[in-house]
Amino acid sequence: MLAFSDLREATYCPRKLYYVRRADRSVPDEVEAVRELAHRYDAILAGGCDEELAELAAVPPPAYREQLRHTVERCPRFDALREPAARDVLVTGRDCRGIAGKVLADPPAPSLVSPGRPPENGVWEPHSVWAVAAAKALAWENGTSVERAFVEYPAYGTVRTVEVTARRTAAYRRAMRTVEGIDGPPPRLRNSAKCESCEFADTCGVKTRTLRSLLGL
């Protein structure tokens, strides 16, 4: 049984997953606090939580509220995300399992909560795989199809919809094969911008682009 998070990390970089598996996997308090903002949307929209936003959000409270109102208009299931059927649920499918930050009902859909920054549009590829894994597992558990998942970026007041398409499903299956195939340290990525923001760059020993440019290489 594979973990959603392993599929996500392997999509970022198989070698990163290798390191993640050997690291302390406890979640820092600040990450938990940022994720908690995804359960405060109503209070935030009503003008509250300024202290939390000032401490945890990526933008000042007025800009955050404006972004959240934009999200309310654009997200097809924002009402369900405000009051999910369940939160922090272990979802177990045929091939993988993991925690969904929220589970919506009628129709069922998982939502995953990222403490990080969203891309300009859509979701990052590792998050696409993460969302599809959760959707497939929820579908298996409920014995029904799940066509859509969500990724929330509460530090930014942003929610992105992930449709479970054939292309995304193929990426999910590739990630499964990658995770199943890891039996030692996978090769380093070459010339990848991902290494610049990888928390294991020092351990990995990869030269980041920044270091290269500093050295004039």
Q: What are the residues binding ligand SF4 (CB under 6 A)?
A: 13, 15-16, 19, 188-189, 192, 194-195, 198, 200-201, 204, 206
CA distance 92 to 7: 14
Closer residue to ligand SF4 (CB): 5 or 158: 5
Q: How far is the CB of 102 from ligand SF4 (least distance, A)?
A: 29
Closest CA relative to residue 15, chosen from 205, 204, 210, 197: 204
Q: How far is the CB of 21 from ligand SF4 (least distance, A)?
A: 12
Q: How far is the CB of 190 from ligand SF4 (least distance, A)?
A: 8
Closest CA relative to residue 53, chosen from 11, 43, 149, 117: 43
Q: How far is the CB of 43 from ligand SF4 (least distance, A)?
A: 37
Is-contact 171 132, C-beta < 8 A? yes
Closer residue to ligand SF4 (CB): 162 or 204: 204
Closer residue to ligand SF4 (CB): 20 or 103: 20
Instruction: Assign 3-state DSSP to the chain and report helix, strand, coil percentages, each to 5.
Output: 50, 15, 35
Q: How far is the CB of 109 from ligand SF4 (least distance, A)?
A: 30
Tokens in use for 160? 């992105």
Q: How far is the CB of 112 from ligand SF4 (least distance, A)?
A: 21
The sign of the CA dihedral 41, 47, 52, 53 is positive
Torsion of CA 117, 118, 124, 126, to 10 degrees: 50
Closer residue to ligand SF4 (CB): 9 or 152: 9
Closer residue to ligand SF4 (CB): 22 or 70: 22
Torsion of CA 9, 13, 14, 15, to 10 degrees: -110
Closer residue to ligand SF4 (CB): 82 or 194: 194
